[in-house]
Copies of this chain bind each other. A is one copy, B any other.
Amino acid sequence: DFENALLEIEPAFGMPKEHFERCLFGGFYIFSERMEHLVKAGNLFCEQVRTSERTNLFSVLIQGQPGTGKTALASKMAVESDFPFVRMISPEEYVGFSEASKCNAIAKVFDDAHKSPLSCIVIDNIERLIEFAPIGPRFSNTILQTLLVLIKQVPPKGRRLLILATCSMPEIMESLDVRSAFHSVLSTSYLQHEEIVQLLKGHIEDATPAKLYASEQQRQSNRQRRRLFLQ
Contacts and interface: CB of A to CB of B under 8 A. Distances in A.
Contacts of A210: 200
Interface of A: 22-23, 25-27, 29, 31, 37, 52-56, 65-67, 69, 72, 91-92, 95-96, 100, 103-104, 107, 125, 128, 131, 133-139, 141-142, 144-146, 148-150, 152-154, 156-157, 168-172, 174-177, 180-181, 183, 185, 187, 190-194, 196-197, 199-202, 210, 225-228
Residue among A25, A67, A172, A191 with most chain B CB within 10 A: A67
A22 B156 CA distance: 8
A194 B26 contact: yes
A23 to B, nearest CB: 7
20 contacts: A22-B156, A22-B157, A25-B54, A25-B56, A26-B55, A26-B194, A37-B37, A65-B65, A65-B190, A67-B192, A91-B149, A96-B103, A128-B149, A131-B142, A131-B145, A134-B175, A134-B176, A135-B176, A170-B174, A171-B171
Nearest to A133: B141
Contacts of A139: 133, 135
A154 B23 contact: yes
A176 B137 CA distance: 9
A4 B145 CA distance: 27
A135 B196 CA distance: 34
Given A197-B29, A197-B54, A133 B145 contact: yes
